[in-house]
Amino acid sequence: MVLKKKAADKTAITGIHCSSQQSRFHTETLDTSREIDLKEVSVAIGERELLSGAHLRLKDGTRYALVGRNGTGKSTLLTAINEKLIPGIPPSLRILLLSQVEDSSRASEDETLSVLEHVVRGDKERYAQVQRQKG
């Protein structure tokens, strides 16, 4: 038996509506996976459907490129993954998304940052921990 499950709790904040096929065995309660393998993924903003019935599979340790024209939903998909809006993404899975808008403004604030420092600061949780340890 397979159910289609929708994410509802964060939808009101982001405006992104997501659903995916869910097993009746509640595999989302198994927090050990470091990979994403979801079927029948649908992502929409309002009435505009960006993905419909897609198979989303991301393997640990693999680098991916998301390429497409402006306005096709690349950032929206990444936000949905990062915010775990798509049902079935393991809650314990750590995802780091570097936003180009936030990052470009941060880079212009301090032009002495190295590329590595810039990327490390993008992980806000880790950066806050490092700052607490220093202070």
pLDDT, tens only, 9-40: 555 556 899 999 876 655 555 556 788 899 99
Buried b (16+ CB within 10 A) or exposed e, 3-40: eebebeeeeeeeebbbbbbbeeeeebeeeeeeebebeb
Averaged pLDDT, 29-54? 86
Name the packing angle between helices 124-134 and 115-122 (round to 10°).
100
| More confident call, 83 vs 108 | 83
Global pTM value: 0.64
pLDDT at 129: 86
Confidence of residue 46 (pLDDT cuts 50, 70, 90): confident
pLDDT at 55: 94
Confidence of residue 2 (pLDDT cuts 50, 70, 90): very low
Q: Alpha-carbon distance 28 to 69, whole Å?
A: 33
Averaged pLDDT, 52-58? 93
